[in-house]
Amino acid sequence: MGEGTVRGFDSYLTFQKLEVFCTVVELGSVTRAADRLCIAQPVVTAHVRSMEKRLGYALVKRAGRNIALTEAGERIYRWATEVITRTREVERELAGLEQGEMGNAAVATSMSIGSYALPPLFAEFHRRQPDGLVTVQILTPQAAVDAIRVGGCDFAVILIAANQDLDGLTAIPVWEDELLLVCGASSPWAAQPARELDLRGVPFVSTPRNQPRRELEEALLRERGLEQRKVVMELGHPEAMKHVVRENLGVSFMFASAVRAEVERRELVVLDRPNLSMKVPIYLVHRDDKRFSAFQAELVQFIVDSASPGATAGNRNP
């Protein structure tokens, strides 16, 4: 469709059409967008074409097998994502008002941080603000960043991968958690000096590939000269990992906040080997243009203030 006279924005550009258009752009494909949205491919195409017809400009063009934006499409996409993001935020805030809440906040975080580091903080914050609602979404770090961008959450508390795109986002370091190598207390690895342990022959329990936690482990081992290791099991939840480690199936890198109780009960043992642990920064991430409500701003400040300089996860001053 060629460029023409802009026919204006009106109610014909429904929220659904904007969502469909943005999904097509994000996935670069009508087919993938149809699958994501669970609607027929012709319906997706019709929504995009109707927007182009109404606006008088072509919004997308072919780029090989994928779809790319025209100049007009770039501008409409920026506007549409802003509309969608603000709409979702307002919907959440209005839902909170209907339920009589004094405020609400949607927080995205990873499994480990959300299971061990954040609950004590949120419990303390709730004692200070008992009429507000904090909703926690457990996501991968990438999914958490995506949720921030589209208004699916107000902010996230996550690890940040080295290659993470943070354009348009603010990342505030809030504390450090230590990645430790642990094994079962009754395992053969606990019985020998950690310095003498040959990690090339030791079975490992790890997280699935392509997760920041796994990438940190691999980088740490590469720096110590171990290019390959024997991973016998990949598990997505730290509780599952701790269970199989206690059963002596292998050793595992785990965050200090996740294993502190088990180490104190002597169910797990930290393999205290030189240069085989690392402190990992945890960040609070939000959009640069995010407008926090009073309740959300107070929660953000509470989390930021919860870590005194140099404190580690699980050992903070609320």
The pLDDT assigned to 79 comes to 87
The pLDDT assigned to 312 comes to 45
Structure tokens at 51: 């927007």
Question: What does pTM read for this prediction?
Answer: 0.70
The pLDDT assigned to 138 comes to 94
The pLDDT assigned to 139 comes to 93
The pLDDT assigned to 85 comes to 79
The pLDDT assigned to 12 comes to 60
Q: Do domains 15-83 and 177-280 have the same CATH topology?
A: no
Tell me the CA distances in angstroms from 183 to 113, 196, 251, 252, one per residue in order. 21, 15, 5, 7
The pLDDT assigned to 137 comes to 94
The pLDDT assigned to 314 comes to 43
The pLDDT assigned to 62 comes to 86
Report residue 311: phi and psi, to 5°.
Answer: -70, 155
The pLDDT assigned to 318 comes to 40
The pLDDT assigned to 257 comes to 93
CA atoms within 13 A on the CB side of 75: 6
The pLDDT assigned to 309 comes to 37
The pLDDT assigned to 97 comes to 60
Tell me the CA distances in angstroms from 52 to 20, 21, 57, 67, one per residue in order. 13, 10, 5, 15
* pLDDT block averages, 10 residues each, the chain of length 318: 50 78 89 90 91 89 86 89 80 64 86 93 94 92 90 92 88 93 94 81 91 86 86 94 96 94 95 81 94 92 74 43
The pLDDT assigned to 19 comes to 87
DSSP letter assigned to residue 101: -
In degrees, to the nearest 5, what angle opens at C-alpha 227 toward C-alphas 226 and 230?
80
Three-class SS state of 36: helix
Q: Which fold has domain 15-83?
A: Arc Repressor Mutant, subunit A (1.10.10)
The pLDDT assigned to 210 comes to 81
What CATH architecture applies to the domain 177-280?
Answer: 3-Layer(aba) Sandwich (3.40)
Report whether 156 contacts 284 (CB < 8 A). Answer: yes
Class of domain 92-176+281-306: alpha beta
What residue segments make up the domains of the chain, in order of their start?
15-83, 92-176+281-306, 177-280
